[in-house]
Amino acid sequence: MIEVAQNLKDVVNKMTPILKEINDKSASKRPAEGKWSPKEILGHLIDSANNNQMKFVKAIESKSIDVAGYHQNEWVDIQKYEHYDWNQLIDFWAMFNHHIAHIIENVPVDALSNELKVEGVGPFTLEFIMKDYVEHLKHHMNQVLPDLGLDSAFKMVY
């Protein structure tokens, strides 16, 4: 899992300075009706980190769990990420994901096969959920770049 944690840190370390180059106004702009702005995508990724931190810790301490999901659109709307300061949002996202990477790189090997369900769906192994978390984050970073008019070099690297 060291490699998975390093992959997460690499994505965060690569994307943080790129995101910091974007001004607040551009980060607030929705690319289309019904689509999230880059601020809202980053907010969603913070919500995902929050929910996955709970899943990871609970799955490490228990062989089998069933956790609640969350309503991602409602969470983004309720928290008004579009009104958040862009640089603070980036810093919060980066720090939270470095913490998630720390959890992943320190997960006990015998816990990786522990199973969890999300609102009855599953079971999934903890190892799968941890790897999928990183892929989910990369998926959303690949959405942010075109929305901001940046090239897709990130897609080729990750």
Find, among 156, 135, 131, 152, the residue nearest to 18 by Cα: 152
On the question of pLDDT at 26 being above 80, the answer is yes
Cβ 148 vs Cβ 22: under 8 Å: yes
Percent of the chain with pLDDT strictly greater than 90? 85
156 against 67, higher pLDDT: 67
pTM: 0.90
Respond yes or no on whether the N-terminal peptide bond of residue 123 is cis (omega within 30° of 0). Answer: yes
Q: What is the pLDDT of residue 153?
A: 47
> What range defines the domain where residue 146 resides?
2-157
Question: How confident is the model over 99-158, as pLDDT tens digits?
Answer: 999 999 999 999 999 999 999 999 999 999 999 999 999 999 988 876 555 555 445 344
Helix (H) or strand (E) holding 144: helix 126-147
CATH of the domain at 113: 1.20.120.450
Total count of domains within the chain: 1
Contact assessment for residue 123 and residue 64, using Cβ atoms and an 8 Å cutoff: yes
Sequence letter at residue 21: E
Token digits of residue 2? 């060291």
CA distances from 27 to 10, 33, 62, 126 (A): 22, 15, 40, 33
